Amino acid sequence: MGFFDSLKNFKNQIDHIESSVYSGKQSLLELYERNARLEAEIALRTKELDTANRQMLTLQHIWDMMNSSKPLSSVLNATVRSLQGELGYLHSCIAKRLVDSEGDYLQVVACSGELFKGKMLNFFSCEPSDLRLKFPNIEDLPGAIDGNKIYQSKEISNLIKSVLPNVSNEIADAVATETKAKSFILIPLSYKNSHFGSLVVFSTRESATENELNFLALFAKQIELAITIADLFQAVKEQAITDGMTGLYNRRYFEEYIKKEAVRAGRQNQKFTVIGIDLDHLKKINDLYGHNYGDIAIKAIAEVLKSNGRSIDVAARMGGEEFNVILPGVDSSGGLVVAERIRKSIESVTLERIGKITASLGVATYMEHSEDIDELLELVDHAMYESKRNGRNRVTLAKPVSETSWQEVAIDTFVDILSKHRIPLDVKTSKYLTKKLQEMNINNEMLYQVSDELIKTYNPDHSSGGTKQKVQLASLLAKRFDLPKESIDKLKIAVLLYDIGNTMVPKEILEKKEPLTDEDRKSIKQHPLIAAREILEPISTIVDVIPIIEKHHENWNGTGYPNNLSGDSIPIESQIILIVDSYCALLENRPYRPAVSKEEALNTIMDDVNNKWSDKLANEFVSIVQNEFD
């Protein structure tokens, strides 16, 4: 091979090498470019995935709030905070459409962003929620709202001037500039096929992506669902605390509210007054016109209470024809004024067929009459029943417990027992006795008559006038032991009530002629506990009487029941009841023995000295019967 051939061959080799190098360079360049494109794609997808994750977290947060049954305001505030914190918007708010006498307007009901709130305070000296906003009227925004379409714009200053037309251009521009927002997006919200309001977000970006707008549309749907759920929850809650017939609060709500009001009153040293209202002659209305008209009369009183109350007053239907009203911050003198206004308003009502209706009212004030809620409500009832006993259609101010007569307490206790069916008495008898009690005067002899009739339901041999005799004997004996008036009054009430537990003892045992079995005695021995704990304990005004009744079968020597107390550990009032009851029982027939004479009964009393009662008690009792009691 010649020189030139070798040179040519060498050149060809160099060309081949250059071609291979160039080809490899192109491959490397293409590989680099592909890798760069792939990295960019990965970065984009990672960013989109991160956004999607944050969007999902935000939606999950809304779901968690909705499922927590929190108030709507809490759900909405949490919603707008989520938009700011998790999706990076500068500010977000929800403006609700409202209507009043001046027309339609917008009010901010949820707002995020301390900077946004700070600017509102700086420029307008108020929170966003305190501003009354006009409906925005810029560009195509009204049409977007009517068409339920998302609207976005960079005209933040124009938005501010549109919703706050009295704001100067300088302030509107300053707010837009200082909040550093470059655009806003408005998403209309619907509820029950009508415009509820709008979700508004302020962004650092001049425009939103299609994915962002799709998410905000989905987000708005979740807000609408939250509004629906919150509304349903509120409706269920209102049903649980509202009386279905009248629309007033029910007993459950009243009892919960008055406890809170008592705490507030104690903390602020501020009184509140309770008014009790009882429709007069409901039974007569029902009998003459039918129960439908009775319901109309009850509803009429409810409407009077609604129209005569302040926004902070609480009116409740306690059941049947009874209502209570709480007047926060009102003393007894103010309560009497309100009660009289209610009474006159009820009296002025004229109903179809029925004509005029009236009501009896009682008034008591927390921190004046009592600082115990149960006691306060009992006093309201006492005053209300006194209004009825004194002729109805009147207002009565309660007396403090120390001024309430023992007869009033006894009457109201019997009414409570009978009307609330605390004992197994037939309905006809309960209604009859309740009516007699409610219509009597507090010093009427009928109090003893009603007690006698009640005793006859389980002791047919009980003599007429027996209750009065027991009260008189017990009072005279109590004075021999220098008991104070308060103690004597409690004793009188106890005498009327101590044997009421016998209504719970089977009649076949009480009327048994043959000797009692151990099981029979066990049943009878339960009656003091039944009277004290099951029948009387729920009645707060006689709480001091219950221990007397519970221990009235304890013997001086410790052989009594139910607690085997002895000697001076037995309350003197209980000892008095035992000896009075034993003596009066001896004078009456029993299924297992005939009645005995007065002398025989006194001899039996003395035979049980230091067994059932003390020597002193027996001697004082015998002296009273022989010398002071005919």
Residue 317 phi, psi (nearest 5): -90, 120
Tokens of 151: 């609207």
Decide: helix, strand or coil at residue 90: coil
Tokens of 571: 């309350």
How many CB atoms are located within 10 Å of the residue 556 CB?
Answer: 24
In this predicted structure, which of 207-216, 430-439, 559-568 has the lowest mean pLDDT? 430-439
Q: Are 88 and 251 in contact (CB under 8 A)?
A: no
Burial class of residue 251, CB neighbours in 10 A (0-12, 13-18, 19+): middle
Report pLDDT for 5. Answer: 65
The fraction of the chain above a pLDDT of 70, given in percent, is: 74
**Is 256 among the residues known to form the active site?**
no
Would you say residue 409 has pLDDT above 90? no
Report pLDDT for 235. Answer: 62
Q: Which CATH superfamily is domain 72-238 in?
A: GAF domain (3.30.450.40)
Could you tell me which residues come within 8 angstroms of residue 89 by beta carbon, excluding any fewer than 6 positions away?
A: 83, 201, 202, 203
CA distances from residue 347 to 41, 283, 362, 599 in whole angstroms, order as listed: 82, 18, 16, 60
Long-range contact set of residues 397-400: C-beta below 8 Å, sequence gap at least 24: 397/332, 397/335, 397/336, 397/362, 397/363, 397/364, 398/362, 398/363, 398/364, 398/369, 399/369, 400/368, 400/369, 400/370
The CATH T-level fold of domain 419-630 is Hypothetical protein af1432 (1.10.3210)
The overall average pLDDT reported for the chain is 80
Report pLDDT for 379. Answer: 86
Report pLDDT for 165. Answer: 86
Domain boundaries, the chain: 72-238, 247-404, 419-630
Which position among 321, 322, 386, 620 bears the catalytic label?
321
Average pLDDT on 318-339 reads: 93
pTM of this prediction? 0.43
Kindly indicate the confidence band of residue 460, based on its pLDDT and cuts at 50, 70 and 90: low
Decide: helix, strand or coil at residue 33: helix
Q: What is the largest CA-CA distance in the chain?
A: 172
| Structure confidence by residue, pLDDT tens digits, 491-540 | 988 888 887 766 554 555 555 566 656 665 665 556 556 655 667 777 77
| β-bridge pairing 359-366 and 272-279 | antiparallel
For the 247-404 domain, the top CATH level (class) is alpha beta
